[in-house]
Chains A and B, each alone.
Chain A
């Protein structure tokens, strides 16, 4: 098996297993740690997809800042292991089994849609913008597009972060 295929399946398996455990097990601190593992696997997948800058961004910002913030809040609020969801009166199937079954159905539906697309039926991928040999993996390439075509979105994002910062401080402030 080619090393790329092997790496894809290994990283994909780690990502799916870690995400399943995030959703499935009860201690919220373990959930955050497992999500960090999942994000590291996704960073590896980004490297496989010729996006090394994005892989590093994922590790530094997503795993290294956002999830650490989650961890702080989990420890601050002393979040405990959660209890079993109580089944509503009069149901035969518990909420967890029904939710898991619906999750499997959603995954199967999405997978079927993508498989049909790969076979060429249904709405295909638009090929007008294809330039498969282009070098998209450098920071220069991202920077050139980010600061010209997406400059407005970039500035609006900085405003968004400012508003989020003010909002977070105001919401979490203790009113004395």
Chain B
């Protein structure tokens, strides 16, 4: 029997994988991909809770999360393109000019 907790634990595991990816990856695009993994983990737990409580609000919130993720991906990738034109590198270590 698959309960709410199963979905929440799966969501937790995916979120942790995404977080590890944000900190570990040496490529700007893959960092953005790991952020998408985290967003999807949160979406999964939202839908699971919506089903558990019998409301449709969980799905509506996920609808908005997908939209915001689309907007964020578009702007984030435009930033990556602009940065690449500047330094010809996708390594986060190439953009450390604000580091003391």
Contacts and interface: CB of A to CB of B under 8 A. Distances in A.
A19 B44 contact: no
B20 A103 contact: yes
Contacts of B54: 129-134, 136
A117 B44 CA distance: 17
Interface of B: 1-10, 12-21, 23-27, 29-30, 32-34, 36-37, 40, 43-44, 47-60, 62-64, 66-75, 77-82, 84-85, 90-91
Contacts, number: 239
A103 B23 CA distance: 10
B63 A19 contact: no
A170 B18 CA distance: 29
Nearest to A116: B5
Given A49-B51, A79-B90, A35 B36 contact: yes
A131 B34 CA distance: 35
Given A15-B10, A42-B44, A49-B51, A160 B71 contact: yes
A79 B60 CA distance: 35
A87 interface: no
User: How many interface residues does chain A have, given as a range?
Assistant: 35 or more
Contacts of A163: 71
B14 A167 contact: no
A167 to B, nearest CB: 5
12 contacts: A15-B14, A23-B30, A28-B33, A54-B59, A73-B80, A99-B24, A102-B20, A103-B17, A106-B16, A106-B19, A115-B5, A164-B70
Contacts of B13: 16, 107, 111
